[in-house]
Amino acid sequence: MPALRFAGGSPEAREDTLAVEEPLELRLHGPDGPLTLAVLMRTPGHDRELLTGWLVSEGLLPAQRTLDPDPENANVWHLHTPEHARLALGARLGVSSSACGVCGSGSVERLAVRAGAPEWTGGALGPALVASLPGRLRGAQPGFGATGGLHAAGLFTPQGDLLAAFEDVGRHNATDKVVGWATLRGDLPLSGQVLAVSSRAGFEIVQKAVTAGVAVVVAVGAASSLAVDTAVTFGVTLCAFTREGRFTAYAAPERLAHAGK
């Protein structure tokens, strides 16, 4: 993309690489014809993982389904399921919002109806390991390196090994891609893994962690008040401001080993 860079002197003409953002429409098919279930603004790539993760996060993932791309439009996918009536009702109730990240789950109470407290099976986590996760995730962010405009989410073992990482213009999308990847592998609930995000920890990140059974979330940026309230309610260990070898734990710190152990 041609651009002019101003840096105190004469402007410099240059070619910049930009993060791609395009709409992704999910169409639900039923006896009355197709219904738009969701339109997600996302970075193309790993769309199956994204849509699967979004369905998990919204409590809409049907047990029987076919999820296929449109043969002519790369920004359209089609969902066929015997549970189309349930999903269509969810769409009418407003869960099919577009790029908000919260995607219709507007309260902790609604989340509690369809998800319980995640179980943790990973043992005590050393503070040094927790603090190292953003740096380990950064090594799996080629898109950010090229554009500076992509968020990332990564799934780690309790020993700090990276299992999967995805990038997207939306931090919630990157998280959905991780959840969708794990769902397609049959790995849910993720009771022994740590979710790390290269952004702030908003409600939607903790919400998606809870629905996937993730008990530990590590964020580079700040945590919002609702994210902390949700983490406390569901017993999720929430660490934020994770940078330069330190972090702040806002909920369930009992999973963190004392310094020196």
Catalytic residues: 100
**Angle between helical axes of 47-57 and 171-184 (0-180°, round to 10):** 90
Q: Is 242 annotated as a binding residue?
A: yes
Q: Is 244 annotated as a binding residue?
A: yes
Q: Is 246 annotated as a binding residue?
A: yes
Residue 73: count of CB within 10 angstroms of its CB: 9
DSSP, residue by residue, 19-78 = ---EEEEEEEEETTEEEEEEEEEE-SS-HHHHHHHHHHHTT---SS-EEEE-SS-TTEEE
Residue from 222, 229, 221, 224 nearest 251 by CA: 229
Pairing of strands 194-197, 216-219: parallel
Cα 52 to Cα 13, 147, 176: the distances in Å are 42, 26, 8
Q: Is 119 annotated as a binding residue?
A: no
Q: Which residues of 181-200 are buried (b: 16+ CB within 10 A; e: fewer)?
A: bbbeeebbbbebbbbbbbbb
Residue 107: count of CB within 10 angstroms of its CB: 13
As annotated, the binding site includes 241-246
